[in-house]
Amino acid sequence: MNFPIGVYDSGLVGLSVASRILQTLPDERIIYFADTAHVPYGERSFEDIRVFSKAIAGFLIDKGAKAVVAACNLSSAVALDILTDTFPQIPILGVIEPGARAAVRAANGHPIGVLATTGTIKSGAYQNAIGALDRSIPAIGRACPRFVPLVESGMADSEDAASAAAEYVQPLLEAGCRTIILGCTHYPFLIDPIRSAAGQDVTIVDPAEETAAELAALLLRRKIAGDGLDSAHEFYSSGESSGFMTLGSRFLGRTIAAVSHGDLQGAK
Ligand code: DGL
């Protein structure tokens, strides 16, 4: 029961998903992997993402993870099938299906807009997941290549961020979207400019919230929920880890005192 929940992302920002999981499941222990050797994932080939994701999930499971959450949208979009095939004994959750479910619930039949990286939009994963839930709801994807660099460079409050948000959100509003999915781990950090561009009447869905709720239900169903007796979270990084503790602590909302190197044997 007190085995950890493995969570991974291309970088540090997925710690905000881990934070959401800990808010929902305070008795759980997290083991987090940041693939800093390969970040950003957004413009890489799907094959690369599959290789990295498989190596990371294997690493987390070797460390005792009782469940794995792919916090990264692109990895969830293109690698979830290979992960569930490779590790059938461990429940593995992505963020796409929970995000799509929350959006369809909120959409009331209106089109749903999806903001995501180029790769996630190209994969069609959100569009397919929404279509599988309700074929009558159009899903309109919008690749947002300006967003990740803005968050990475600490410019989430800048005029550039406001203009990027307006550029990406406006076509979704024109298409009649009343619900917008933040389909990338970085985008919740742009909630202010996105909200300003979208207006107050649009529902903005952060898939992390629904993912945490689905994880909670899964742990209960399988009777593997933690009992809070062990809260020694662990943090791994495949590459550069300077800044992990300061920046990572901000994303996680609690202090990260140590980061270890995580070797992804052969995943170059
Ligand atoms: N973590 C990725 C995602 O959620 C975005 C950042 C990246 O491109 O690495 O899709």
Lowest mean pLDDT among 66-70, 94-98, 190-194, 261-265: 261-265
Instruction: Read off the pTM.
Output: 0.94
Query: CB count, 10 Å around CB of 89?
Result: 5
Q: Within this chain, do residues 113 and 188 fall inside the same structural domain, yes or no?
A: yes
Q: H/E element holding 107?
A: helix 96-107
- pLDDT of 242 reads 85
User: Pocket residues for ligand 1 (CB within 6 Å)?
Assistant: 9-11, 39-42, 72-74, 117, 120, 148, 184-186
Examine residue 268 and state whether it is found in any structural domain, yes or no: no
- pLDDT of 267 reads 63
Report the distance separating Cα 264 and Cα 268, nearest Å. 8
Examine residue 163 and state whether it is found in any structural domain, yes or no: yes
Please say if the pLDDT value at position 1 is more than 70: no
The backbone torsions φ and ψ at residue 245, rounded to the nearest 5 degrees and listed phi first, read -70, -45
Considering only residues 91 and 229, tell me which one the structure prediction assigns the higher pLDDT.
91
Examine residue 185 and state whether it is found in any structural domain, yes or no: yes
Mutational pocket test of ligand 1: of 41, 78, 120, 144, the residue with most ligand atoms within 8 Å of the beta carbon: 41
Atom of ligand 1 nearest to the CA of 120: 10
Task: Tell me the CATH number at 40.
Answer: 3.40.50.1860
Q: Within this chain, do residues 135 and 175 fall inside the same structural domain, yes or no?
A: yes
Q: pLDDT tens digits, residue range 256-268?
A: 999 999 998 766 5
Pairing of strands 67-70, 92-93: parallel
Preceding peptide of 26 cis, ω within 30°: no
Atom of ligand 1 nearest to the CA of 9: 1
- Residue 37's domain comprises 5-95+209-261
Tokens 């004994």 sit on residue: 89
Catalytic residues: 72, 184
Q: Within this chain, do residues 120 and 178 fall inside the same structural domain, yes or no?
A: yes
Residue 117 Cα to ligand 1 middle (Å): 7
Helix and strand element counts for the chain (H, E): 11, 10
Q: Within this chain, do residues 59 and 184 fall inside the same structural domain, yes or no?
A: no
Question: In the chain, how many domains are there?
Answer: 2
DSSP output for 152-169: HTT-TTSHHHHHHHHHHH
Examine residue 224 and state whether it is found in any structural domain, yes or no: yes
Q: Whose CA is nearest to atom 1 of ligand 1?
A: 72
Examine residue 266 and state whether it is found in any structural domain, yes or no: no
Q: Within this chain, do residues 200 and 111 fall inside the same structural domain, yes or no?
A: yes
Q: Within this chain, do residues 111 and 202 fall inside the same structural domain, yes or no?
A: yes
- pLDDT of 152 reads 82
Q: Within this chain, do residues 154 and 81 fall inside the same structural domain, yes or no?
A: no
Q: Within this chain, do residues 149 and 196 fall inside the same structural domain, yes or no?
A: yes
Query: Domain boundary residue among 173, 188, 206?
Result: 206
Query: Domain boundary residue among 162, 183, 206?
Result: 206
Q: Within this chain, do residues 81 and 151 fall inside the same structural domain, yes or no?
A: no
Q: Whose CA is nearest to atom 5 of ligand 1?
A: 184
Q: Within this chain, do residues 187 and 215 fall inside the same structural domain, yes or no?
A: no
Q: Within this chain, do residues 170 and 126 fall inside the same structural domain, yes or no?
A: yes
Examine residue 267 and state whether it is found in any structural domain, yes or no: no
Query: Domain boundary residue among 179, 206, 233?
Result: 206
Q: pLDDT tens digits, residue range 154-173?
A: 899 999 999 999 999 999 99
Q: pLDDT tens digits, residue range 181-223?
A: 999 999 999 999 999 999 999 999 999 999 999 999 999 999 9
**For the chain, how big is the Rg over CA atoms in Å?**
18
Examine residue 27 and state whether it is found in any structural domain, yes or no: yes
Torsion 82-87-88-93 (CA) sign: negative
Residue 189 Cα to ligand 1 middle (Å): 13
- pLDDT of 166 reads 98
Torsion 55-152-76-124 (CA) sign: negative
Q: Within this chain, do residues 107 and 233 fall inside the same structural domain, yes or no?
A: no
Examine residue 116 and state whether it is found in any structural domain, yes or no: yes
